[in-house]
């Protein structure tokens, strides 16, 4: 059953990435991407599936449910709470400073939270959920919808700040 879900998740990502547009790729950043470990994490796959399932939901500042729409931190908080029972802080600033393993960019795995400084100055202002193969799900801006983007697109590559892993076997034991 777990392998079936993992295969379904992979097929969903491949299908969605084939249908979406890609921005310009920074070749240096693209070459730093490594294939995620082959360790199967069912919680990460569930996060991935739920996040992808919300693609197309309207962006609403302060939104944190599918019916009200999402902002970036509301989307992340909703997915983690619903799928993994993990309650995350409400803002990207608070999420950046929460406990969790900081992850090198070339070690990203599905379910990791990635942070961006879109306004420059190195201050976090946006976040998304990494889904694999250089792609992430996020609620990008007013008037937009939840969507998949490439972390290696020039805009996101320039704004990339760091990543954090909050899913682990330990967190799933304490947060069923």
pLDDT digits (tens, 9 = 90+) for 21-32: 333 333 333 333
Q: Which of 6, 19, 97, 126 is catalytic?
A: 126
CATH superfamily of this structure's domain 2-174: endopeptidase domain like (from Nostoc punctiforme) (3.90.1720.10)
Residue 11: both structure tokens together? 């097929």
Q: Which of 6, 19, 97, 138 is catalytic?
A: 138
Q: Give this prediction's pTM.
A: 0.75
Residue 71: closest CA among 85, 57, 81, 82: 57
State mean pLDDT over 6-28.
Answer: 40
DSSP string of 97-118, one letter each residue: TSSSEEE-GGG--TT-EEEE-T
Strand order in the sheet with 135-138: 101-103, 160-165, 113-116, 126-132, 135-138, 147-150
Would the pLDDT of 70 be above 70? Answer: yes
Rounded-to-integer distance, Cα 141 and Cα 150, Å:
16
Range with lowest mean pLDDT among 5-9, 89-93, 101-105, 165-169: 5-9
Q: How many CA atoms lie within 13 A of 161 on its CB side?
A: 22
Let me know if 126 is a catalytic residue: yes
Let me know if 138 is a catalytic residue: yes
Q: Which of 6, 19, 72, 97 is catalytic?
A: 72
Would the pLDDT of 99 be above 50? Answer: yes
Instruction: Tell me the domain boundaries of the chain.
Output: 2-174
Element of type H or E holding 135: strand 135-138
The span from the first CA to the last CA of the chain, in angstroms, equals: 18
pLDDT digits (tens, 9 = 90+) for 20-61: 333 333 333 333 333 344 455 788 899 999 999 999 999 999
| CB atoms inside a 10 Å sphere around CB 7 | 11
């Amino acid at each position: 059953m777990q392998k079936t879900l993992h295969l379904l998740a992979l097929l969903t990502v491949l299908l969605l990435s084939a249908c979406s547009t890609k921005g310009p790729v920074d070749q240096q950043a693209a070459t730093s991407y490594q294939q995620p470990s082959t360790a199967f994490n069912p919680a990460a796959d569930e996060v991935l599936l739920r996040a992808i399932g919300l693609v197309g939901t309207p962006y609403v500042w302060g939104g944190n449910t599918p019916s009200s729409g999402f902002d970036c931190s509301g989307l992340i908080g909703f997915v983690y709470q619903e799928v993994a029972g993990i309650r995350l802080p409400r803002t990207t600033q608070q999420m950046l400073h929460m406990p969790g393993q900081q992850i090198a960019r070339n070690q990203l795995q599905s379910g990791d939270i990635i942070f961006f400084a879109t306004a420059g100055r190195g201050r976090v202002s946006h976040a998304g959920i990494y889904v694999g193969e250089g792609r992430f799900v996020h609620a990008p801006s007013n008037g937009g919808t939840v969507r998949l983007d490439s972390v290696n697109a020039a805009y996101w590559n320039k704004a990339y700040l760091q990543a954090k892993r909050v899913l682990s076997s330990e967190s799933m034991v304490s947060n069923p």
